[in-house]
Chain A
Amino acid sequence: MQLQCVIGLEIHAELKTKSKLFCGCSTAFGAPPNTQCCPVCTGMPGALPALNQTALIYAIMAGLSLHCEISRYTRFDRKNYFYPDLPKAYQISQLYAPLCRNGFLISPLFPKKKIRIREIHLEEDAGKLIHDRSSTESYCDYNRSGVPLIEIVTEPDFVSGLEASEFIKALREIFLCLDICDCKMQEGSLRADINISCRQTGSSQLGTRTEIKNLNSLRSVIQAADAEFHRQTALIKKGKSILQETRRWNENTGKTESLRVKENTAEYRYFPEPDLPPLCLNENWVTAIKERLPELPDARKEHCLSLGLSEENAASLSAAPDLYSFFLSVVDHNVSARKAAGWILTDVLHFLRSSKKELLQTCLTPKIAAELLILMEKGKINREGVRQLTQVLLDKNIDLQNFIQSHGLALNNNTVQINDAIETVIAENPKAATDFYNGNSKTIGFFIGQTMKLLNGSGDPKLIRRILLQKLDENLS
């Protein structure tokens, strides 16, 4: 009996709106408990929800980018259950008429696999419980209560945890590109639940599924899926049955553990939300949103390739929205695309990483970057100069020309000085010269290096090479 793993994903993504889904409270992460709440998001008697239109637009953007149909008629439903972090004792969600349906996404690592998206719906987040370890008390923090979420529900189209995690990765790139979600799994702005079951290879019959909740990293998605699949296959091979239950991933033990066994059917007493009238979305309005969508990662990569970038550089740039848009602006200033990409992905990225900064937090502008690259192209500064300048430019606004002059970063084009240096080097290294005449062409590098050293690194390597070859030729004749 050959068993195959079958996985479906439910992904919750917090939308990056300034205010909550049904009130004006801030959604900023990390504020002191209960400082970002009001009668609406704490469910006070008499409070009514008022829909945040930006959240609706973001959810539609997500749907359009994932090839979904956008429902012309959509509405909210109440999901009723009791828990202290749910102040109204119901969550405003969508069951009967979700906003988006029937989409798909293909992740780059599995280009032949179309993952079907069943629906995307808009809903509000719950608050958080804080358990005091020093006593038996628990506290509620309603800052998160009412933060807008979209839930993306896939069909059970994955056969491994890796496929699922690659899907989340691709989804993350799209959402970052749309700028609708922070996608920080550790902070909980992107959370994944996986539904997992086994099926006999060749059969369409699915086994009993379990749900693993709140996976907060891509790695845990892969590990939890693998562990759960092994647990289920072991049980099946022993002839035991799988319980339909909710489980959680324990990183320390590397195992999934039971959280609660689902009763026959979850009793949420869903019914249409009477406080919010159904929405009839105007076709033109949705089209306008579609037209304003930014370029998605796939299209970006195509664009990069068309500018002559390598596959690798194209992939790296298209995955980083800020670097990509910076790159495009730099290229707009008539700079070679390949040189610009090379520089951004090495020097710029290196200093961003070492200083732990985002590009937008630095002083670097596309204009000055283009100036630098043009100077480099024209041979006015050397490689090391470019590196040094990049670091400086990230930190402060400077006049490029002045700085190069005052810091001696300009290439030395003084033929007399270079001549003198080369003569000294050849004279000091007779053995290397002999090697060269005997046909060891590698020695040329040695000579260039030594000359450069003598010139304190400021010599123009092309010029040195030309004069050096001339000199060696002259000496031979």
Chain B
Amino acid sequence: MNILNYSALDLGNALKKGLCSVLEVTDALHQRLEATSFLNTVITIDWDQVQKDAALLQEKIEKGMLSSPLAGVPVLIKDNICTRFIPATCASKALLNFIPPYDAYVIEKMKTAGMLILGKSNMDEFAMGSTGETSFFGPVKNPWNPLYVPGGSSSGSAAAVAARSVFCALGTDTGGSIRQPASHCGITGIKPSYGRVSRRGLIAYASSMDQIGTMARSALDCQAILSIICGQDKLDFTSRNGKSIFSKAKGVRDLVIGIPENLLQAAQPEIQQCILNSAQIFTSMGAVVKWTKLSYTREAVAAYYILACAEASSNLGRYDGWKYGERTPAVTLNKQLCRTRSEKLGAEVKQRILLGSFVLSSGHFDDYYRKAEKARNLIRKAFQEAFEDCNLILTPTAPTTAPKIGEMLQEPVKMYQSDLHTVGVNLAGLPAICFPGGLTHSYMPVGIQLIAPDMEEALLFQAVEAFQNVSDFHLQSPEVNQSCSYNVSSD
């Protein structure tokens, strides 16, 4: 079997047994990434450094110094997570020359476990976007069809995993930024409970919702990586310890899975069909699937964009050109600030900063921010109520499959509304996983979302692992091809 088709856990196993070496693996990835470079999934990889790291890790593995099942496994990191001495640009012109002098908490943990930090993946600028098109480095392309977007904002991570260019990656999810690209690219991705993973070293977009999560080709892999990076960090006061992410039980027998009808109906018919098919599979394994109510939809998107933009307007204030990045010269301090920010930040980012500044300004604070906070509480309550009579909630991840490149940029409101299925989870701080549920007639992947109560990641993994044991949607892979004639024709 081609090394590139290994799961992360299989690869870790093979490395331990000496069936292949870390250097062979990185060489294979290097070739594959070159071959798929038109997908534009990567911002920074220093191959010389990677080779050095690989050699060092190989030595440690041979000496038996690394016990983690993922020792030696290369991982791609979204470019908004700080890695010592590797640029962290957030795909923004404002951070082009920012080289963090420190590792994020998750990177510390991965390095300790002996995982190989490969490099940094492309993304929407500052994680703002649902398509991967707002990057200063140009749009990321969908490996299933490069005329289409991969989703966003963890676009490069998702596309690279789907294209078999890497085995696994870290993404971040503020309003769906792991799950939605996972859905559009046909991979598995988990957004953990808020606080499950430390945000120290994650460049903030909306602090009260940002969460680092894992992306791979199976739930098992996602779980294995998450187990390395999760846990309370005493330097992130919002991080927490919680129940184990490993479940003692196997299978889904007697689990009650609720499907909110309104969320199902807000998706394309073909997607609805995939959801119902997957419900069938769960039922066939002994789960109880039923209709449930999750009585919010419109409020969630509005509340999300008000709160996220408000926090973003504050979090991004520091990109003033006075400390890093270049500043645009001007006569006065204020003009310098305005020109620098106007020039260095992209259109989508500026739009959200303006929105956020507006909703926080006096006279509007009560009408927008306060109301959005109230809505957030109602959404939390709605989930609590829903979880009173079911263990998990099953929904589409997105209302449509991946749109064509350029399509969404013209229609920002439509783009924001496409976050309908994902943002509620972030507002409520819940864990949710997205996994492949089949392809449409035009060969584009459809993702399915399972949502669990706070700190119940174990239940998500238990259910999806059972699902992936009896189905092969997650094994389907695109024939990555720059022209991609075979499925454009069926469009």
Taking Cβ atoms with an 8 Å cutoff, the residues of A that contact B are 39, 42-51, 78, 80, 82, 84, 87-90, 140, 265, 267, 269-271, 274-277
A-B contacts besides A45-B98, A277-B237, 16 pairs, CB < 8 Å? A39-B101, A44-B323, A45-B318, A46-B81, A46-B204, A48-B200, A50-B234, A50-B237, A90-B314, A269-B357, A269-B361, A271-B314, A271-B365, A274-B238, A274-B311, A277-B238
B207 interface residue, CB < 8 Å from A?
Answer: yes
Min CB–CB distance A136 → chain B (angstroms): 11
> Which chain B residues border A271 with CB–CB below 8 Å?
310-311, 314, 360, 365, 369
Min CB–CB distance B170 → chain A (angstroms): 13
> Which chain A residues border B202 with CB–CB below 8 Å?
46
Could you tell me if A84 and B314 are in contact, using CB atoms closer than 8 angstroms?
A: no
B15 interface residue, CB < 8 Å from A?
Answer: no
Q: List residues 172-212 of chain B with CB under 8 A from any CB of chain A.
A: 199-204, 206-208
Total number of B residues with any Cβ neighbor in A under 8 Å: 42
Could you tell me if A82 and B204 are in contact, using CB atoms closer than 8 angstroms?
A: no
14 A-B contact pairs sorted by A residue (CB < 8 Å): A43-B323, A44-B100, A44-B323, A45-B90, A45-B203, A46-B82, A47-B200, A50-B234, A80-B317, A82-B334, A88-B318, A269-B314, A269-B360, A269-B361
> Which chain B residues border A80 with CB–CB below 8 Å?
313-314, 317, 360
Most buried by A among B90, B199, B237, B337: B237
Could you tell me if A84 and B333 are in contact, using CB atoms closer than 8 angstroms?
A: yes
Min CB–CB distance A46 → chain B (angstroms): 4
Could you tell me if B317 and A45 are in contact, using CB atoms closer than 8 angstroms?
A: no
Q: List residues 458-475 of chain B with CB under 8 A from any CB of chain A.
A: none
How many angstroms between the C-alpha atoms of A270 and B360 in the bound complex? 7
How many angstroms between the C-alpha atoms of A140 and B327 in the bound complex? 15
Question: Assuming A275-B237, A275-B238, is B318 touching A43 (CB within 8 A)?
Answer: yes
Q: Which residue of B lies closest to A44 (CB)?
A: B100
> Which chain A residues border B337 with CB–CB below 8 Å?
82
> Which chain A residues border B199 with CB–CB below 8 Å?
48
Q: Which residue of B lies closest to A49 (CB)?
A: B237
Q: Which residue of B lies closest to A138 (CB)?
A: B333
Q: Which residue of A lies closest to B98 (CB)?
A: A45
> Which chain A residues border B361 with CB–CB below 8 Å?
267, 269
Binary A-proximity of B64-99 (CB < 8 A = 1, otherwise 0):
000000000000000001100000101000010010
Q: Which residue of A lies closest to B338 (CB)?
A: A82
> Which chain A residues border B365 with CB–CB below 8 Å?
270-271
Q: Which residue of A lies closest to B238 (CB)?
A: A277
> Which chain A residues border B206 with CB–CB below 8 Å?
274
Could you tell me if B314 and A87 are in contact, using CB atoms closer than 8 angstroms?
A: no
Nearest 7 A-B pairs (CB), nearest first? A89-B317, A269-B360, A274-B208, A274-B207, A45-B203, A46-B82, A46-B201
B104 interface residue, CB < 8 Å from A?
Answer: yes
Could you tell me if A78 and B314 are in contact, using CB atoms closer than 8 angstroms?
A: yes
How many angstroms between the C-alpha atoms of A276 and B199 in the bound complex? 12
Question: Assuming A39-B101, A269-B361, is B322 touching A84 (CB within 8 A)?
Answer: yes
How many angstroms between the C-alpha atoms of A140 and B321 in the bound complex? 13
Specify which of A44, A78, A89, A267 is in contact with B362 (CB 8 Å cutoff).
A267
Could you tell me if B102 and A39 are in contact, using CB atoms closer than 8 angstroms?
A: yes
Could you tell me if B323 and A46 are in contact, using CB atoms closer than 8 angstroms?
A: no
Could you tell me if A87 and B207 are in contact, using CB atoms closer than 8 angstroms?
A: no
B1 interface residue, CB < 8 Å from A?
Answer: no
Specify which of A89, A265, A274, A277 is in contact with B318 (CB 8 Å cutoff).
A89
Most buried by B among A39, A42, A82, A274: A274
B19 interface residue, CB < 8 Å from A?
Answer: no
> Which chain A residues border B249 with CB–CB below 8 Å?
none
Question: Assuming A48-B199, A51-B237, is B88 touching A82 (CB within 8 A)?
Answer: no
Could you tell me if B82 and A45 are in contact, using CB atoms closer than 8 angstroms?
A: yes
Could you tell me if B311 and A46 are in contact, using CB atoms closer than 8 angstroms?
A: no
Min CB–CB distance A281 → chain B (angstroms): 15
How many angstroms between the C-alpha atoms of A49 and B317 in the bound complex? 16
> Which chain B residues border A47 with CB–CB below 8 Å?
200
Could you tell me if A87 and B204 are in contact, using CB atoms closer than 8 angstroms?
A: no
Question: Assuming A45-B88, A51-B237, is B314 touching A89 (CB within 8 A)?
Answer: yes
> Which chain B residues border A269 with CB–CB below 8 Å?
313-314, 357, 360-361
Min CB–CB distance B307 → chain A (angstroms): 9
How many angstroms between the C-alpha atoms of A46 and B80 in the bound complex? 8
Question: Assuming A82-B320, A84-B322, A90-B317, is B203 touching A46 (CB within 8 A)?
Answer: yes
Most buried by B among A42, A48, A90, A265: A48
Min CB–CB distance B157 → chain A (angstroms): 17
Q: Which residue of A lies closest to B239 (CB)?
A: A48
B413 interface residue, CB < 8 Å from A?
Answer: no
Specify which of B237, B311, B320 is in contact with A276 (CB 8 Å cutoff).
B237
Min CB–CB distance B82 → chain A (angstroms): 4
Specify which of A45, A89, A277 is in contact with B100 (CB 8 Å cutoff).
A45
Q: List residues 409-431 of chain B with CB under 8 A from any CB of chain A.
A: none
Specify which of B81, B100, B101, B236 is in contact with A48 (CB 8 Å cutoff).
B236
Most buried by B among A49, A82, A90: A82
How many angstroms between the C-alpha atoms of A51 and B311 in the bound complex? 20
How many angstroms between the C-alpha atoms of A78 and B95 in the bound complex? 23
How many angstroms between the C-alpha atoms of A84 and B323 in the bound complex? 9
